[in-house]
Every structure is written in structure tokens, then in C-alpha cells.
Structure 1
Amino acid sequence: MKEDYYDILGIAKGASAAEIKKAYRKKAVQYHPDKNPGDASAEEMFKKAAEAYEVLSDDNKKARYDQYGHAAFDGSGGFGGGGGGGMNMDDIFNQFGDIFGGFGGGGGFSGFGGGGGGQRRVKGSSLKIRVSLTLEEVANGVEKKIKVKRKIQASGVTYKTCSTCGGRGQVTKVTNTILGRMQTAATCSSCGGSGQILDRKPNDADSQGMIVKEETVSVKIPGGVEDGMQLKVTGKGNDAPGNGVPGDLIVAIETLEHETLKREGDNLHYDLYVSISDAVLGTSKEIDAVVGKVRIKLEPGIQSGKILRLRGKGITGLNGYGAGDLLVHVNVWTPKTLNKEQKEFFEKMQTNENFIPSPEKSDKSFFEKVKEMFS
């Protein structure tokens, strides 16, 4: 069983954003790889702390975690870092560079972009695409094959150590102040922080030794996603020069409008129109649902405005957590034109006691129905 994120950082559940950041920084300093070389357990704690901070520092992810725990992120297929179980060291240092900057008072730790004596690993730029999903795909989850044009390192490209920074990716500057000698570090402008510059490249490559290639990327989209959500496919963005790591592919979700069903959270709404005769005599109707067609029974004397709730026939919650309902709104259709015989029938019925409105106490008002629908 995974450890509680609050326990990992050593904070209470009601901790503020500042307290969360402070606690993470403390853990990051304690277990940083440069302070614990070769210590696998320290590296694991370092990753756990980063994973916890990634969730608790994001208001939306934190709210989901507070409500559902780790189940909020299990099987999310790479959602924007939520849960972060697959985080690696490059992800951590790239994502939380502002947290690591300035450790130790002299320009930070080395090795991963902190700013000390080691070579940085530059991350390639991310790509963003939009994927359109039908309501059925949203409800059931789907695997999409997407064609992506991304920059990759050309065959035959070679690099050499940057002479400006000596392969460190950063240049340091020492200045004398009234407080003493101050040392600052900045990304090397010659190599962009990679520590390497282009040596040889084929004619079809750009100035960084890259070519554009179209690839087919498989993206698993879990059921329950909503319009505007973004998924991250690690390593499927643009390559980085030299020994850098590829960027990510950001998949933005767009949901298509369904012909008869309307989504509201995990619930679905369906407007069912029935004739006066069907409402009086009762009938059964086949209607749309995301699981296919379903048949419902209308009792004789059903009233316009009645809401029938089909439990569990809505959208399955993100990561399979529960399912919404299908709400069928009954609308009795009043004919606008009548022939002579039909008109005579309804004229006779105007004074018939069975046709005079007589709502029972059990019949809910419009406002009560709305309240019930949203409860």
C-alpha cells in the first residue's frame, strides 16, 4: 500500500501551500542524490517526496487526493503527473527547478540542472495536440493512434564538448561586493545548457542536428475524462540536442456533442417526448445510453416533467470510481393541429373529471424536481 503523501512530507492534512513547499524543500535537501551518492534508499525517498509535492502543490490534484486518496490517480494512463508513480530524476529536476535552485548557498547541486559542477541534461520542447472524443469513447475509455510530427536527432550527428562552459552547461561569474565575493551561475548561451555543441551533421538536419519525422503514437485515454483535460505522454515530444532527454506530448481532450444525450459531470440527461395517448395509456420506449439502447417503461398517467433515474447508466468516474446516472426527462407532447373528430373529443373531455388537473401531494413541484435532480 502506498504511503500517505502528507506523511511522506511530514505535514498535517490542512497544511498551507507555503508549509507544503517548505516541507518538500527540506526533504529534497535531506535526500538529494548529490548528498547521498550511491544510496538507493535516499534516491527512492527523494522521488517519493517529489511525487507527493507534485500532487499536494496543485489545488485540483490535492482536492482529488483529499477526497479519494491514491485511488484518484491509479490507472490514469499518464495524466499530467497526477500520482507521479513513474517519475524519474530528469522529470523531477526539470519540473521543480525553482525548488532546487540555490541549495547549499553556492549555486546549487550538480548533476541534473541544479547549477554546480556537473553537466545538465536539457529536456526537449513539448508538443501539444488536440484529440476529439465521442461521448461513447469518453464513457468507455479508448486507445487512440495519433500521428505526430516531432523533431528527432538526425543519423550521423556528432557533438563535442562546449568550450564556453567546459561541458557543464552553465557559466559562473564571481563579483566582489561589500559583503564579499559573490558567485552566480547562468545557463551557457553557447550550448543552451546541454554542455555540448554540434560537431557534424547531415545536410538535411537543422542547426541543432534535428530532422522532423512523423510518428504514430498510441495514447490510452481512460474513461471519465472531461473536455479541456490534458494527458501527458512522456518522451514523445521533441528530442533535445546531445545527451538531453525528449520532451513530452501533451494531449488536450475535446469532447464532441452527442445527438441526444447531454453530460453533466458523471450524469447524463435525455429528453423523452411522448404523445398524450402514450402518457395516458402507458407504454415502453427504447432510448439512447452510452452502453447502447435501453428500454424503459412508462406507467399509465405519467406526467410531463417526470424524471426517471436509471442508476449507473451514466459516465463511469475517472479511474473507474463509481458511475453516474441517466436522467430521463419526460415531456408530454401536445398536438398543435387537430382534425374535427379529435377536436370534438377533447372538447367533450374539457369538463370530464378525469381530465381536470388534480395533483397529489406526492407529485413534486418543478423546484423540488430540480433540487432532487442535483442532490
Structure 2
Amino acid sequence: MSDYYATLGVSRDASTEEIKRAYRKLARQHHPDVAGPGSEDKFKEIAAAHETLSNPEKRQMYDMGGQPGMGGAGAGFGFSDIFETFFQAAAGGGGSRGPASRARRGQDALLRISIELSEAAFGVTKDIEVETAVLCTTCQGSCCRPGTSPTTCEVCHGRGSVQRMARSFLGQVMTTTACANCSGFGSIITDPCTECAGEGRVRTQRTVRVNVPAGVDDGTRIKLTGQGEVGPAGGPPGDLYVEVREKRHPLFTRRGDDLHCTTELPMTAAALGTVLELDTLDGARELDIRPGTQPDEVVTLRGLGVGHLNGGGRGDLHVHVQVSVPTKLDEEQERLLRELAGLRSEERPEARLAPAGNGVFSRLREKFQGR
């Protein structure tokens, strides 16, 4: 059997008042809401010790070696009520904190927009239509029909809370709860606004302007502070988040702030070199193909990619060269190619083997990885 006197830290001849003071101190310290769930058993032990030692009959039985149960006049009052009682007393005797406000912050909203690759590269400003809650212009958020006002609650008399008597291990205590008649507001709207049905806000469509910065990536969310829904009773608005979705481009593939595309060349142009006119996001640009360009070689145009987000400059445009080999030759073309092969001693070229890791695709992978 537990030593209840040791549990409360009092002597065996302690007075009832000393036992109560010791219990209050330990209950505040070991309540699960303060010390965590692990202290629940300790708190129960303290409560049991107090219930036994504060009752003269149970204390006498305990002193004689008995083990009183937990039932009694104090049963039925929960740990949360005890905790509330202590802290209400510390705050000034358990008085009301005043009526709650009807005005509450509105919810945040999420909207998705689609943009072109060029808009992601250079930035864009878009006007978007949003269906959201706005302040009721009829009642201006008061929730009442114009010319009327809320009436004071007859139950709580405007306090928004009511007091009730409850029994605890300490005896009878006064607790405070929200008034059920007015939901804690302290007043009742008897004549609500017909435009918003007493909400203080209405749903409508409005136009919001969003600035999409250059360099924004697919899935990026842009926060528009205060552009979300207006709260009930004209409460402050939430925020609007605009999620950007980038459309797939028919020619260019984006990797970070760099763009990639492919151009196909005849083998003669790759061998002799040429100048191509290439359509870019900035318009037509010349692409210099040097003589001897190899298949899958990459030619880079600096500064023609996507703008850097929150910084100056732009990424690059990488053009991947594919060399086209003719599959059909007429007699004259075949003769000329055989003549060229003879001049280059390539009629029967020797096979040159290389490790698989040194192939074209490996070199491209290393280039992308910055090796």
C-alpha cells in the first residue's frame, strides 16, 4: 500500500489545510497537461492520497491500515476540470474572459494557372478571375440588417460565458464555460442581413493581378497576401496562393534555366560546316556549325535560356546536332562518295572499339552532370 503522507510530502499529524495546500502544489506540477502523458499515474496517485487524507473517516481507516477506494463525494470531476480550476484561480478567480468576436480570419485559397515557356523565361503579368468571399457591402460585415444591431444575450448578459458549480477533490468549485445560447458571442443577431444571410460576407467573382517572375518553375506557388477569402463577420482575409503550371513546348525542353533542342544536318554540312538560322525564344538567331561537327555534338548559345529567378542573367540554349546519313544514292552520288572514300583511304576502314562508358550518350551524361 502506498504511503499517502509521503506522496503528498506531509507529516502524519498534518492538518487538513496543510494536506490541501500540498495537494494543490503537486497537482499543478504533475498534471498531464503540464508534465505530459507520462505523469498521469503520478497525478492519479496524488489525487488518491488527497481524497483519502482530506476525508476524516477515510484517513482514520487508512491510518489503521485500510485501503480506501477512490469513490466518494469528489468522484466525477475530471483532471481537465481540476487543471482549469487552478489556472482560473491564478488568473483572477475564474472570471469571464469576455465575449468572443464574430469576426474571424478567412481561409487561404489555392488557384492554378498555366503559362507558356516564353512567359516563364521572361516573366508575365496576368489578370485572373477568382471566385471568393468578399465583404458584404449591404451590412459592411456587421451581419445585421441595416439599421439594426445585435441584442444582448439574456442568458449570459453579454459576457459570452456562464458559470456553473461543480464538485471536485477540493470541494465545490466554480467553472466558466461558453454560453450555449449565444455561442459565446455575448449577443444574438435577431434580424440578420438578407444579402449575406447574417454571414457578413458574400461570394462573388473578382479579378486579381498576379506577377509571375522570370525563371519561375513548374509547380512554384506565388503567395498573394490578403487576397484570399474575407472571414466571417468581415474578418481579415486569408492569402491566395497561385500555383504555376508550365505548358510543354513543341521544340524546347527545359532543364533548370537551360533549354535544349535538336537540329538535323546532312552529313556534308556537318563535314564542311555551315550557318543555320534557328528560331529561339528571342527570335531568329544564327547557329554556327563548325567543319567536322560530329553526331550528337552540342552547340551552345549563351544567354538564350530562361531568366534566373530572383537574379540577373539567363540560362543557355543547347542545340544537339543530329547528322543525317543518306539511305539512297543515285549512281553519280555513289561514284563521288566512293571516290572520296578512296582519297581518304576509307574503302575498308578498320573497326575501332572503345569501352561502352566512353560512348556518345556517356559523354552527354557527363556534360549535363558538369564533369
Q: TM (normalized to structure 2)?
A: 0.57
Runs (5+) with no aligned partner, structure 1: 1-101, 110-114
Report the CA distance shift for 1:178/1:372 in structure 2 as closer, same or farther (over 3 A).
farther
Report the CA distance shift for 1:175/1:130 in structure 2 as closer, same or farther (over 3 A).
farther
Say which is worse superposed, 322-331 or 348-357, in terms of deviation.
348-357
Report the CA distance shift for 1:220/1:369 in structure 2 as closer, same or farther (over 3 A).
same
Residue number in structure 2 paired with 1:147: 129
Residue number in structure 2 paired with 1:123: 105
Aligned residues of 2:215 and 2:309 also touching (Cα < 8 A): yes
| Cα deviation, residue 294, structure 1 | 2.2
From 138, 151, 155, the counterpart of 2:120:
138
Residue number in structure 2 paired with 1:373: 368
Residue number in structure 1 paired with 2:231: 240
Distance 2:163 2:255 in 1: 55
Distance 2:292 2:99 in 1: 80
Distance 1:168 1:342 in 2: 101
Matches within 5 A, 1:297-312: 297-312=288-303
Aligned residues of 2:151 and 2:190 also touching (Cα < 8 A): no
Report the CA distance shift for 1:122/1:327 in structure 2 as closer, same or farther (over 3 A).
same
Q: How many residues align?
A: 261
Distance 1:365 1:223 in 2: 36
Counterpart secondary structure, 1:331: strand
Q: Deviations over 1:135-193 (max 9, x none)?
A: 111011111011112222322223338858988999999977669989898999966x9
Distance 2:316 2:133 in 1: 45
| Cα deviation, residue 291, structure 1 | 2.9
Q: Deviations over 1:317-359 (max 9, x none)?
A: 2112553222111111223333343334334444552766999
Aligned residues of 2:228 and 2:239 also touching (Cα < 8 A): yes
Matches within 5 A, 1:131-280: 131-157=113-139, 158-159=142-143, 160=150, 163=153, 200-206=191-197, 208-280=199-271
Distance 2:345 2:177 in 1: 88
Letter of the 2:324 partner, please give it.
Answer: W
Aligned residues of 1:154 and 1:201 also touching (Cα < 8 A): no
Residue number in structure 2 paired with 1:296: 287
Distance 2:221 2:120 in 1: 14
Report the CA distance shift for 1:118/1:348 in structure 2 as closer, same or farther (over 3 A).
farther
Letter of the 1:368 partner, please give it.
Answer: R
Aligned residues of 1:272 and 1:328 also touching (Cα < 8 A): yes
Residue number in structure 1 paired with 2:47: none
Residue number in structure 1 paired with 2:276: 285
- In our comparison, the structure showing a higher alpha carbon Rg is 2
The question of 1:330 aligning with 2:321 is answered: yes
| Cα deviation, residue 230, structure 1 | 1.1
Aligned residues of 1:198 and 1:209 also touching (Cα < 8 A): no
Report the CA distance shift for 1:351/1:237 in structure 2 as closer, same or farther (over 3 A).
same
Q: Deviations over 1:32-84 (max 9, x none)?
A: xxxxxxxxxxxxxxxxxxxxxxxxxxxxxxxxxxxxxxxxxxxxxxxxxxxxx
Distance 1:171 1:346 in 2: 102
| Cα deviation, residue 372, structure 1 | 2.0
Runs (5+) with no aligned partner, structure 2: 1-83, 144-149
Residue number in structure 2 paired with 1:55: none
Letter of the 1:139 partner, please give it.
Answer: A
From 309, 312, 330, the counterpart of 1:339:
330
| Cα deviation, residue 248, structure 1 | 2.0
Letter of the 2:363 partner, please give it.
Answer: E
Say which is worse superposed, 173-182 or 329-338, in terms of deviation.
173-182
RMSD, aligned CA: 4.1
Residue number in structure 2 paired with 1:64: none
Q: Deviations over 1:284-319 (max 9, x none)?
A: 112233333321211111111111223332222211
| Cα deviation, residue 235, structure 1 | 1.9
| Cα deviation, residue 254, structure 1 | 0.4
| Cα deviation, residue 256, structure 1 | 0.6
Letter of the 1:135 partner, please give it.
Answer: L
Q: Percent identity?
A: 31
Distance 1:170 1:243 in 2: 23
Counterpart secondary structure, 2:232: coil
Report the CA distance shift for 1:186/1:198 in structure 2 as closer, same or farther (over 3 A).
closer
Counterpart secondary structure, 2:332: helix
Say which is worse superposed, 160-169 or 268-277, in terms of deviation.
160-169
Letter of the 2:367 partner, please give it.
Answer: E
Residue number in structure 1 paired with 2:21: none
Distance 2:333 2:258 in 1: 40
Residue number in structure 2 paired with 1:319: 310
Counterpart secondary structure, 1:143: strand
Counterpart secondary structure, 1:245: coil
Say which is worse superposed, 122-131 or 149-158, in terms of deviation.
149-158
Distance 1:173 1:349 in 2: 107
| Cα deviation, residue 209, structure 1 | 4.0
| Cα deviation, residue 370, structure 1 | 2.0
Report the CA distance shift for 1:204/1:316 in structure 2 as closer, same or farther (over 3 A).
same
Letter of the 2:248 partner, please give it.
Answer: E
Report the CA distance shift for 1:177/1:143 in structure 2 as closer, same or farther (over 3 A).
farther
Report the CA distance shift for 1:276/1:237 in structure 2 as closer, same or farther (over 3 A).
same
